[in-house]
Amino acid sequence: MNPVARARRLFQDRFAMEPVAVASAPGRVNLIGEHVDYHGGHVLPVATAERTAVAVGPARGRLRAVSEHFPDIEAPWPHAAARAWSDYITGVAAQFEPDAPLLAGGLAVAVASDVPAGAGLSSSAALEVATAAALGAWTGRPPTASRLAEIAFRAETEFVGMPCGMMDQLAAVHATPHAALLIDCRTHAMERVPVGVDLVLVESGESRGLRDSAYSERRREGAEALRLLRPRFPNLLGLVDLPPARLQTIVRGLPAPLDRRVRHVVNENQRALLAARALGGGDHAAFGMLVNASHDSLRDLYECSTPRLDAVVTAARALPRVLGARLTGAGWGGAVLVVAERGGGGDVATRLATDRELAAPAVRVVTPGGGVRVE
């Protein structure tokens, strides 16, 4: 059964009524453009075929949240952040409050998902976006696509308190099947790029560990670099606007490790643009080389890889028909993306899954899917 049917069934079973609305949204895998979204740079994500479905309805002044994977939550409504999985739902609902009298009476939610949590697929954005679409459908005044992404983003940053960029939410809303989305994270301009290669995702099995605190630290470093560069570049909107040709000279004036961070951000943004062009133009070898360069930069300059992620990357790059490999998502654990020649992905996935030394907990072929849907 697909997650939509499962969410509906779970809702009926647990709340003994029909849901008022059901929506679903995908996870995402970023092909390139890592740690640039919060600097206003370019990213190139695809949505996963795996989706999260959310069914919603009224609950007599209570929050009642049930999920296939997490413990039941029952609490008074409206509901403050509780450091529980339901925060992603409450955070989204909070964005609707002023203009959604329907929700005032409480909220029953059932969640079913094929997007694994903690695997670097942004299961949180899938949950937020699906919830926003379901609640929007319930109010009878569905938000526009860009508003949906905004609602989900605010739930994550303001309510849950994760200082992420907007890539994950934009991808979960706007993705289309068989294509990657080149997103300008400043203007939200988007371009669809056909994906003529195979994509394989290897879970590292490393838990999030330091991820949230290290991510916040990188954001502080970025802000500090910007502050130090201001006197020299009074009109600089973000680090990605620094001229790449003069980068060497520019970073010489910055203390370590800010010089390394800036080099990564500026070059990674350029790589994302070049990679989108290479992929769209069918130059898959060039695309693979840019993917490799992205990992090396994340490892050496942004310092968000781990020995385990590096080992997976090295093993993948040694396989026939592999064009490139890199960590994808925030890093510090999570997953590795392997780019293979069209038709080679299945074989590459099998080899990586059966590599005893690697012992990867999960290897999956990624089929780029579509964005949010009201069911």
CA distance 7 to 281: 40
Nearer to ligand GLA, 5 or 237 (CB): 237
Nearer to ligand GLA, 4 or 291 (CB): 291
Task: Please identify which residue in 8, 32, 34, 89 interacts with ligand GLA, judged by CB under 6 A.
Answer: 34
For the chain, the straight-line distance linking the first and the last C-alpha, in angstroms and rounded, comes to: 15
Distances (CA, A) of 199 to 166, 230, 241, 316: 23, 40, 30, 12
CB of 51 to ligand GLA, least distance (A): 18
Three-state DSSP at 280 gives helix
Among 7, 23, 25, 35, interactor with ligand GLA by CB under 6 A: 35
Sign of the CA dihedral 109, 113, 115, 119? positive
In the Cβ-directed half-sphere of 356, how many Cα atoms lie within 13 Å?
Answer: 0
* Binder among 330, 340, 358, 366 for ligand GLA (CB under 6 A): 330
The smaller minimum CB distance to ligand GLA, of residues 95 and 328, is found at 328
Question: Does position 88 bind ligand GLA by CB under 6 A?
Answer: no
Site string for ligand GLA, 157-196 (x = CB under 6 A): -------xx-xx----------------------------
Give least dist CB 125 to ligand GLA, A.
7
How many residues at the interface with ligand GLA, by CB under 6 A? 11
Q: Which is nearer to ligand GLA, 34 or 375 (CB)?
A: 34
Is 47 a binding residue for ligand GLA by CB under 6 A? The answer is no
Q: Closest separation between CB of residue 105 and ligand GLA, Å?
A: 33
Judge whether 335 and 353 are in contact, CB under 8 Å: no
Contacts of 228-232 with C-beta under 8 Å, sequence gap 24+, read: 228/253, 228/254, 228/258, 229/254, 229/262
Instruction: Tell me the C-alpha distance between 218 and 160, whole Å.
Output: 19
Active site residue 296: no
Extract the tokens encoding 2: 């697909």
Binding of ligand GLA at residue 206 (CB under 6 A)?
no
Edge to edge, the sheet with strand 42-43 lists 42-43, 179-184, 190-194
Asked whether the beta carbons of 232 and 253 are under 8 A apart, the reply is yes
Q: Which is nearer to ligand GLA, 58 or 329 (CB)?
A: 329
Binding pattern to ligand GLA, positions 121-140, x when CB under 6 A?
A: -x------------------
Catalytic residues: 168
Binding interface with ligand GLA (CB under 6 A): 34-35, 37-38, 122, 164-165, 167-168, 329-330
